[in-house]
Amino acid sequence: MAVEIAATGSGAPSESQVGAILAKHPAERSALIPILQEVQAKLGYLPEEAMCQVAEALGVPEANVYGVASFYAQFRFAPIGRKQVHVCRGTACHVGGAPKILAEVKERLGIGEGESTPDREYSLETVACIGCCALAPCAVVDGKVEAKLTPKKVRELFQGVQR
């Protein structure tokens, strides 16, 4: 609701942690990226409240903080799941049908790239070549390489996942 937006920093759990990071840096725009990096290192991702807090402290609009952060691949905006899914999008996998695999994974997990399931069990990322092109198309699920994937295999892999 539009009228509620003016409230910032009202007691998010990360408030004091972010505050401690902010205290170490000058309140200047040039400090934005180092601050965001530290926040991510601390919290594992960049929660919205944290971005608002940084924005307010540096006098930078929050949409701009997000704009800058989203430009860099290093930042994530959702927490990492307990099991990380990396779908390969390298050339060999692409040719081998990676787009279909990715679509199926998204469908199964009900999330998009850079997101995690509400129960934080899985998070989804794409990567450029994981170095097993001979097994294309492939993905890494919870540290284990899944080779020569088909949509059917993906379905089996994530069978029983509650969406």
Partner 1 sequence: MATISIDGTRVEATENRTVLQAALDAGIYIPHLCHHPDLKPVGMCRLCVVELEGRGIVASCEAAAQDGMKVLTDTPQVQKVRQVALELLLTNHDSNCLACAKNNDCGLQKVAAFIGVDEARFKQLRMLTPQYAIDDSNPFFRRDPNKCVLCGICVRTCAEIQGSAAIDYAFRGFATAISTLGNKPIAESKCQSCGECVVRCPTGALAPKETRKPSKEVLTTCTFCGVGCQLYLGARGGEIVSARGDRESPVNRGHLCVKGRFGYSFINSPERLKTPLIKKDGKFVAATWDEALDLITRKFAEYKGDQFAVMGSSRCTNEDNYVLMKFTRAVMGTNNVDNCARLCHAPTVTGLGASFGAGGGTNTIAEIPGADCLFIIGCNPTHAHPVVGMRIRAAVGNGAKLIVADPRRIELGDNATLSMTQKPGTDVALLMGMARVIYSEGLHNPQFIEERCDGFKEFVKAMEPFTLDFVEETTGVPREQVVEAARLYAKSDRALILWALGITEHSHGTDNVMALANLAMLTGNIGRPSCGAMPLRGQNNVQGACDLGVIPNAFHGYQKIADPAAIEKFEKAWDCKLSTSPGLGMVEQLQQTLTGKIKAYYLVGIDPAYSVSDANQVWEALRQAEFVVAQDIFLSGTAEFADVVLPATSFAEKDGTFTNLERRLQRIRKVIEPPGEAKADWWITCEIARRMGGKGFDYNDPSEILDEMGRLSSWFTGINFERLDAGGIQWPCPSTDHPGTPILHTERFATANGKGQLAPLVYRPPVDSADAEYPIILTTGRSLYHFHLAMTSKVPGLMALHPEELVWMHPKDARRLGIADGDKVKVSSEQGEVDVRAKVTKDMRPGTAYMTFHFYETPTNVLTHQKSLDPVSKTPEYKVTAIRIERV
Interaction site with partner 1 (CB under 8 A): 1-11, 48, 51-52, 59, 61-67, 70-71, 77
**DSSP letter at 25?**
S
Torsion angle of C-alpha atoms 123, 129, 134, 138, degrees rounded to 10: 20
At which residue do the structure tokens 């205290």 appear?
A: 23
Name the E strands within the chain. Answer: 83-88, 122-127, 139-141, 144-146
Binding status of residue 21 toward ligand FES by CB under 6 A: no
CB of 89 to ligand FES, least distance (A): 7
Binding status of residue 93 toward ligand FES by CB under 6 A: yes
Instruction: Using the minimum distance from each CB to ligand FES, give the nearer residue, 24 or 148.
Output: 148
User: Are 112 and 122 a contacting pair, CB within 8 Å?
Assistant: no
CB of 6 to partner 1, least distance (A): 6
CB of 46 to ligand FES, least distance (A): 28
